[in-house]
Amino acid sequence: MKFAKIAFLLAVTLMVCSGFSKKSKSVYAFGFSASFTDTVVYYTEIQMLDSVHLDKMGFLPYREHYSYQLKNHLEYEKGEKNRTCMIYFSNNQAKLAKEQAKVLSKYRKDKAVRVEELKKTEFSFKKPED
């Protein structure tokens, strides 16, 4: 009986600790922008999103706001209209870097397409207001 109580307490402690560690994971993201009428493809550096946690289903809350941030930056700062912007995100920075390399390799194969990186000093994602 004493062993069962100790095992139960250990199990509860483990679940509580793992729940907290899950919430404290960092979220990383990069943006990507292409256009059907332009040969330039833009992408951002992988950035850590400040004070952001994935929801229960593993999705980034307000992810559409992040892609609109990139779209607005390209429209107003670079004069690039009609861009399709996407955001890729993950808790694992290495997996995200692999995904970024995979996406960019498809575009770099085409010599007619110019791939341009947006440095973090030029563009960085901001947490959307709730």
Domain locations in the chain?
A: 26-118
The reported pLDDT for the residue numbered 88 is 97
Closest CA to 42 of 72, 74, 66: 74
The reported pLDDT for the residue numbered 7 is 45
Which long-range contacts (C-beta less than 8 Å, at least 24 apart) are formed by 46-50?
Answer: 46/93, 46/96, 46/97, 46/100, 47/120, 47/124, 47/125, 48/93, 49/89, 49/125, 49/127, 50/126, 50/127
The reported pLDDT for the residue numbered 51 is 87
The reported pLDDT for the residue numbered 25 is 83
**Phi and psi angles of residue 100, each rounded to the nearest 5 degrees, phi first:** -65, -45
Compute the Cα dihedral for 99, 102, 105, 110 and give only its sign.
negative
Taking the C-alpha atoms of residue 109 and residue 89, their distance in angstroms, rounded to an integer, is 24
Q: pLDDT (tens digit, 0 to 9) for every residue of the chain, 130 residues total?
A: 565 444 444 555 555 555 544 455 899 999 999 999 999 999 999 999 988 999 999 999 999 999 999 999 999 999 999 999 999 999 999 999 999 999 999 999 999 999 999 999 999 999 888 6
